[in-house]
Amino acid sequence: MTVSDREELRDRIAALESDRRQIVEEAQREADAMFAQYQLSQLLATGAGLQELAGMVLVELMRLAEASSGAIWFQGTTADRLRLVASLGPLANDEVLGQASSVPAIAEVCPPARGWTVLGLGDEPPVGVLACAPEGGTLDSEGLRVIQLSRHELAVAFRSAQLREMLDRERQELTAIVEGATDAIVQVDELGRFLRLNPAAEQLIARAGAEAVGRRCADVFDCARLGVHDPSGCPFLEVVATGEPITDRTLDVRDATGRPKRLAGSFAATPPEPGSATRFTAILRDMSAVKALDELREGFVATVSHELRTPLALIRGYTETLLHLDLDPQTRRDYTQRILDTTGRLGTLVTEILDIAQLNANPVVLERVPVRFESLVARLRGDLAMTGSDDRLAVSLSRDLPLVEVDSTRIGQVLENLVMNALKYSPADRLVTLGASVESAWLVVTIEDEGIGVPEDDRQLVLEPFHRARNVRESAMPGTGLGLYIARRLVEAHHGELRVSDRADGRPGTRVTFSLPLQRSGRAARERGSAAASSAAASSTADAASAGSDGRPPFATGTRHD
């Protein structure tokens, strides 16, 4: 082989070696690109949040592209506004870089002259913008190719992350709305079993959500006993059967304590997710207070109509008789007296209606001054003397009663209401007893009669407006059912309490007890006396001081009507 042949062979071998190296390098680059794609795919599949995902992707892209600085912006609330979500490297940490909020601003901060490459992620308009640069140079074609291969996949992943965050925010907002709603929101399955309840629903049914979940709504609401457990009566089962929504349906149920509730609500099926069963949602509002107001209004109209119609008819009848008949003087005097008495009833009715309107419309304004309770009783006796009823009132007061701090006009009205009520419902030959004694920091007043009494199940109800005891209604005795309610409200305005019970001696009749606060100086003196006594007899004094020591009347064991 000649020298020239050997040289030609050597050149051919060198060329083949060069081709081989080039093929290996290209294969290596392809393998690196594929591995880079795999690495990015693994990152994108993590389901991380937008900010976390952007940070991890930026680190990997900079490693693959051998870049030393980089940043990623995402589209903000408007298409032309971008926000920086991830940055690395000395240039990316520049304060100006973080303030770039639009594509032109990013191009200005990351100019090609400084080696920066700026790429949009996704099609127009881009989901975001990626900028990166190698240290001391520009991004080579291989690094650019890696990023170009990944940018559309990145756009999809970032858009998915954005949507996830948006859904999470909306879910949190919806949860906050449901949890904070004043209306009850419940969800049941096809068998009517509770799946979810918001706090308002827990309050409505008087159960914790954990106690109700899994139980049939008919059991929780006691529907079977109330006769609304069939599809014709149960809105949930009706929606299950028909699939049609129900709006503005009213139903009567009971909560866990047995208290009746009237509910108004809307019921609808919730579209199921693939592979899951249909759920049914109801939005319920407690209309019990509205029902009570309606009943109160009806009672008011019925009571006032009756109490107005009857005396007006009497006045008209007596007046026509006086006008058209020639009566003797005594008969005329009797008829005139009856007209006067009837107008008194009308005046009382009007006064009570005005009182209840004032009590319900505005807070009670009191002019509280120190008053001797004996003076209030003396004024009451004087008023009774005008009607000839003072001889039926027996007064039994403890000696040397301290001053009470009250509105004398209002408490005088309370005494008049209660004593006149007792006289009205007692036989004419029986006495009404008024007593008062001091217990702790309170003056406790009692009015006892020997009348028809108040049934036990009516004793709380008669303290509400327009409610009269069952035995009174059956006796057809006239009345509005407002006197005790007005008395209770006025006593409570003084921070006292009023209750109705049997007589203490067990005889037939009624005992009404209410409390009034003593004058402050009197309370302080009594407390000092109690403290001195406690040093001598600690145990007995502790028992005695327990009554009213919390600032409440000593007999206040029942439910307040605040």
pLDDT digits (tens, 9 = 90+) for 64-84: 667 777 888 877 656 567 778
What is the C-alpha separation between 319 and 207, in angstroms, rounded?
Answer: 62
Q: Using CB atoms within 10 Å of the CB of residue 170, give its burial: 0 to 12 exposed, 13 to 18 middle, 19+ buried.
A: exposed
Please write the tens of the pLDDT for every residue from 175-215: 888 888 888 888 888 887 888 888 888 888 777 767 778 88
Model confidence at 543, pLDDT cuts 50, 70, 90, reads very low
283-321 pLDDT, tens digit each: 888 887 777 777 767 766 766 666 677 678 888 888 888
Question: What pLDDT, on a 0 to 100 scale, did the predictor assign at position 548?
Answer: 47
* pLDDT for residue 467 is more than 50: yes
Q: Which two tokens stand for residue 272?
A: 């199921």
Q: How many angstroms separate the CA atoms of 404 and 415, rounded?
A: 14
Cα–Cα dist 483/424, whole Å:
12
Q: Does 344 or 471 have the greater pLDDT score?
A: 344
Structure tokens, 69: 């600085």
- What are the structure tokens assigned to 195, written together? 């799946």
Distance CA 531, CA 49 (A): 67
∠ CA 486-353-432, nearest 5°, is: 45
What lies within 8 Å, CB to CB, of 509 at 6+ separation is 426, 448, 449, 450, 451, 453, 502, 503
What three-state secondary structure class fits 164?
helix
Residue 36's pLDDT is 62
Q: Using the 8-state DSSP alphabet, how is residue 218 labeled?
A: H
Spell 106-137 as b/e; 16+ CB within 10 A means b. Answer: beebbeeeebbbbbebbeeebbbbbbbbbeee
pTM: 0.48
DSSP assignment of 120-138: EESSSSPSEEEEEE-TTS-
pLDDT digits (tens, 9 = 90+) for 487-536: 898 999 899 999 999 888 888 889 999 999 988 754 544 544 444 444 43
Residue 446 pLDDT more than 90?
Answer: yes
What's phi and psi for 68, nearest 5 deg?
A: -105, -15
- Are 146 and 63 within 8 A, CB to CB? no
Query: For residues 541 and 347, what is the distance between their CA atoms, to the nearest angstrom?
Result: 49
Residue pair 134/114 in contact (Cβ under 8 Å)? The answer is: no
Tell me the average pLDDT of the chain.
76
Radius of gyration of the chain (CA): 44
Segment 58-62 shows an average pLDDT of 76
pLDDT at 364 over 90: no
Instruction: Give the pLDDT mean for 319-347.
Output: 85
**Which long-range contacts link 100-109 to residues 24+ away (Cβ below 8 Å)?**
100/73, 101/76, 103/129, 106/73, 106/82, 106/131
- Tell me, rounded to whole angstroms, the distance of Cα 39 from its chain centroid: 52
Residue 549 has pLDDT above 70, yes or no: no
Q: Are 287 and 263 spatial neighbours (Cβ–Cβ below 8 Å)?
A: yes
- What one-character DSSP code corresponds to residue 323? H
CB 89 within 8 A of CB 97: no
Token reading at 113: 């002259």
- How is residue 491 written in tokens? 């006593």
Domains of the chain, earliest start first = 12-167 (3.30.450.40), 181-286 (3.30.450.20), 292-361 (1.10.287.130), 369-545 (3.30.565.10)
Residue 213's closest CA among 190, 197, 229? 197
φ and ψ at 244, to 5 degrees?
A: -95, 140
For the chain, give the percent of residues with pLDDT over 70.
71
pLDDT value, residue 159? 75
What is the band of 375 on the pLDDT scale with cuts at 50, 70, 90?
A: very high
Side chain identity at residue 76, one-letter code = G
Question: For residue 372, is pLDDT > 90?
Answer: yes
Distance CA 47, CA 40 (A): 12
